[in-house]
A and B are shown apart, each in its own frame.
Chain A
Amino acid sequence: MHDALDVPADSTPVRFVGRVGFHFAVALLVAVLAVVAWNGGPRFSVAQPTVEVPASALVAVRGRGHAEPARYVVDAADAEGIVLLAAGGVSFAAADYPRITWHLPWDVPSGLQVNIAWRRRDAPGRLYSEAVEWSRGPAYIDLNGHPDWSGTIQEISLAIRGRIAAPLPVGGVRLRSAAWSVTLVDTLSDWRDRALVFAPGGFSSLDGERAAIAPLVPVVAGAVGIAIAALGWRARRRGARFPLGAAIGVFIAGWLVVDLRTQWHFARQHAANLAIYTGKSGDDRSAASPDGRLFETARKLRDATRERPARVLVLSDNTHLATRIAWFCYPENVWHGARSNARRPAVAPDQLRTGDQVVLVLYEAITWDPARQALVWQDGRTRAATPILVEGPALAMVRVDAPR
Chain B
Amino acid sequence: MSAWAGLLASIALPWIAGAATVVALRGAAGRHELPLAAGYGFLIGVLAATLVLRAASFAGSPWHPMLLDAAMVAIATIAGTVAFRARASAPAGDPVAGSLAGETAPYRWLFAAALALLAVRILGLAIEVAVSPLRAYDAWGHWSTKARVWLEAGRLVPFVSGGTWLAQGDPGLYTDSNPSHPGTLPLLQVWVARHTGGWNEPMVNAPWLAMVVAFALAFYAQARAAGARASLAMVATWLVVSMPVLGQHVAQSGAADLFMGAAYAMAAMAVWRWSVTREPGMALVAALSVAAGAWIKIEGLLWMATLVPAVVVALHRRAGLILVGAAVAAFAAYLALGPERQPMLGYVLRNRPVNVLPTLILQVYTLDHWHLAAYAFVAVAAWRWRVLLAPRHAPATLTVFCALGLVVVVFFFSSAAFGVADETLGNRFILHLMPTLVFYTLVLLLDPGAPAGDQPSAQATKAADA
Of listed B137, B165, B366, B371, residue having the most chain A CB within 10 A: B371
Of listed B137, B152, B166, B448, residue having the most chain A CB within 10 A: B166
A319-337: CB near B (< 8 Å → 1, else 0) gives 0100110110011011110
Do A1 and B145 touch (CB < 8 A)?
Answer: no
Of listed B166, B368, B375, B379, residue having the most chain A CB within 10 A: B368
Do B124 and A270 touch (CB < 8 A)?
Answer: yes
Do A335 and B252 touch (CB < 8 A)?
Answer: no
Contacts of A204 in B (CB 8 A): 248
Do B166 and A218 touch (CB < 8 A)?
Answer: no
A258-B371, A270-B128 given as contacts; is B227 within 8 A of A2 (CB)?
yes
Contacts of A286 in B (CB 8 A): 133
- Among A28-36, A88-96, A162-170, A207-215, the stretch that binds chain B is A207-215
B376 (CB) vs chain A CBs: closest residue: A251
A1 to B229 CA separation, bound complex (whole angstroms): 6
Do A220 and B372 touch (CB < 8 A)?
Answer: yes
B123-167: CB near A (< 8 Å → 1, else 0) gives 011011001110101001100110011011100000000100111
B239 at the interface (CB under 8 A from A): yes
B166-206: CB near A (< 8 Å → 1, else 0) gives 11010101111100000000000000000000000110000
Does more than half of chain A's interface fall in helix, strand or loop, or is it mixed?
helix
Which of B121, B169, B175, B368 is within 8 Å of A209, CB to CB? B368
B423 → chain A, closest Cβ, in Å?
8
B345 at the interface (CB under 8 A from A): no
Do A202 and B135 touch (CB < 8 A)?
Answer: yes
Which of A262, A274, A309 is within 8 Å of B131, CB to CB? A274
A218 (CB) vs chain B CBs: closest residue: B366
B365 at the interface (CB under 8 A from A): yes
Chain B interface residue count, CB cutoff 8 Å, equals 66
A206 to B29 CA separation, bound complex (whole angstroms): 42
B252 (CB) vs chain A CBs: closest residue: A203
A5-B229, A203-B252, A207-B367 given as contacts; is B372 within 8 A of A221 (CB)?
yes
B323 at the interface (CB under 8 A from A): no
A1-B452, A2-B446, A248-B445 given as contacts; is B239 within 8 A of A255 (CB)?
yes
Does more than half of chain B's interface fall in helix, strand or loop, or is it mixed?
helix
A309 to B174 CA separation, bound complex (whole angstroms): 13
Do A263 and B121 touch (CB < 8 A)?
Answer: yes
A259-B117, A277-B131 given as contacts; is B248 within 8 A of A203 (CB)?
yes
A273 at the interface (CB under 8 A from B): yes
Do A331 and B252 touch (CB < 8 A)?
Answer: no
Which residues of chain A from 68 to 92 have any CB-CB distance to chain B below 8 Å in the complex? none
Do A259 and B242 touch (CB < 8 A)?
Answer: yes
A309-B171, A335-B162 given as contacts; is B371 within 8 A of A255 (CB)?
yes
Do A217 and B124 touch (CB < 8 A)?
Answer: no
Which residues of chain A from 216 to 241 have any CB-CB distance to chain B below 8 Å in the complex? 216-218, 220-221, 224-225
B302 at the interface (CB under 8 A from A): no
A337 (CB) vs chain B CBs: closest residue: B162
Do A203 and B251 touch (CB < 8 A)?
Answer: yes
B431 → chain A, closest Cβ, in Å?
12
Do A333 and B166 touch (CB < 8 A)?
Answer: no
B41 at the interface (CB under 8 A from A): no
Contacts of B229 in A (CB 8 A): 1-2, 5
Contacts of A282 in B (CB 8 A): 201
A2 to B443 CA separation, bound complex (whole angstroms): 12
Which of A206, A252, A263 is within 8 Å of B245, CB to CB? A206
Contacts of A215 in B (CB 8 A): 366-368
A265 (CB) vs chain B CBs: closest residue: B244
Contacts of B366 in A (CB 8 A): 209, 215, 217-218
A351 to B163 CA separation, bound complex (whole angstroms): 10
A266 to B121 CA separation, bound complex (whole angstroms): 9
Which of A224, A278, A338 is within 8 Å of B162, CB to CB? A338
Which of B135, B162, B169, B367 is within 8 Å of A206, CB to CB? B367
Do B371 and A320 touch (CB < 8 A)?
Answer: no
Of listed B117, B174, B252, B367, residue having the most chain A CB within 10 A: B367
Contacts of A203 in B (CB 8 A): 128, 132, 135, 248, 251-252
Contacts of B98 in A (CB 8 A): none
A323 to B148 CA separation, bound complex (whole angstroms): 15
A282-325: CB near B (< 8 Å → 1, else 0) gives 10011001000000000000000000010100000000100110
Contacts of B19 in A (CB 8 A): none
A191 (CB) vs chain B CBs: closest residue: B368
Which of B127, B140, B368 is within 8 Å of A327, CB to CB? B140
B373 → chain A, closest Cβ, in Å?
9
Contacts of A244 in B (CB 8 A): 445
A323 to B140 CA separation, bound complex (whole angstroms): 7
A13 at the interface (CB under 8 A from B): yes
A25 at the interface (CB under 8 A from B): no
B348 → chain A, closest Cβ, in Å?
14
B78 → chain A, closest Cβ, in Å?
35
Contacts of B391 in A (CB 8 A): none
Contacts of B120 in A (CB 8 A): 263
Complex A-B: 26 CB contacts under 8 Å: A1-B227, A1-B453, A2-B452, A5-B446, A209-B368, A210-B367, A225-B379, A258-B368, A267-B124, A269-B128, A273-B127, A274-B127, A277-B131, A285-B133, A309-B171, A326-B145, A327-B141, A330-B144, A330-B148, A333-B149, A333-B171, A335-B175, A336-B177, A347-B166, A351-B166, A353-B169
